[in-house]
Amino acid sequence: MSKKRTVFAGSGCAIITPFTNTGVNYEVLDELVEFQITNGTDAIIVAGTTGEASTMDDREHLSVIERVVKKADGRVPVVAGTGSNDSRHGAALSREAEKLGADALLHVTPYYNKATQSGLIEHFTLMADSVSIPIILYNVPSRTGCAIAPATLDKLADHPNIAAIKEAGGNIAVTAKMMALCRDRIDFYSGNDDMNVAICSLGGKGTVSVLANVAPRQSHEMIAKCLAGDYEAAAKIQLDALELIDALFCEVNPIPVKTAMRLMGYDAGPLRLPLSEMSENSLNVLKTAMKNYGLIK
């Protein structure tokens, strides 16, 4: 089988969605996309977990994808989150996102109702068959309760439209097994900022990053060093950011990162229930890490 096209190589920002009390703040969304592109981000991932997609109805969800595609204007790839635990719904959203100009789609494993491994194969095959743009699978069992097994990924890697996986299982040994089985049939992206360099060192193409929201230039440089084979320099960037990375996950994502964007002066707006504002202790942890990293005074 011929090598599939790489969706992007580098740092992809899992961008937040700035809400108002009644909808989406599209002007601030434009500002955030421009901030990312200006500072070297290699791709924008919109309407994912960090973008609070699970609290948007389809109209709003698709309007956010459309706005980011328009603002990016072909300067970087736009990957649209269209995953669902209802396969028919996920396929329908995917077709609409393709019509809106998304370059690729991000599909999380089904949550709540979950699936067997054979069910995952059927689900992701349906997603990939529904569109002509590439699919990036998203493995994050800590959130979904449903993990893609290495043998399952090995089978899915043969599909011509399944191009990559965002791997956020948190176990580098399992990730390595996946990579050993799949080799160059699909690309791997780190889904955990604290594992970026480790996954890239095994052949990963980059990261889908929460950190990039607040530190896009540093996240880009980290992965650029990896792709150039300078892992010593890349490791330094990651280790220097480790306190901040930990703080960005001291409460459920995207609570800390959205709070951090506000602290940096962006009108990121409110979180949507069931996500709530940070506790005072967590907020102090975040502020300290941001000060130490030089993001705020």
CA distance 225 to 290: 23
HSE of 39 in the Cβ direction (CA atoms, 13 Å)?
A: 20
Catalytic entry in 4, 71, 138, 189: 138
- 258: annotated active-site residue: no
- 166: annotated active-site residue: yes
Query: Longest Cα pair distance anywhere in the chain, in angstroms?
Result: 54
What average pLDDT score do residues 285-294 get?
Answer: 98
What average pLDDT score do residues 213-239 get?
Answer: 98
3 pLDDT more than 70: no
What average pLDDT score do residues 184-196 get?
Answer: 97
Residue type at 198 in one-letter notation: A
- In the chain, where the domains are located: 10-225
Q: Which CATH superfamily is domain 10-225 in?
A: Aldolase class I (3.20.20.70)
Task: Please name the residue that has the structure tokens 């409110």.
Answer: 270
What is the pTM (predicted TM-score) of this model?
Answer: 0.96
CA distance 37 to 75: 8
5 pLDDT more than 90: no
79 pLDDT more than 80: yes
CA distance 208 to 174: 18
Catalytic entry in 4, 71, 155, 166: 166
Per-residue pLDDT tens for 16-27? Answer: 999 999 999 999
Tokens of 140: 């994050």
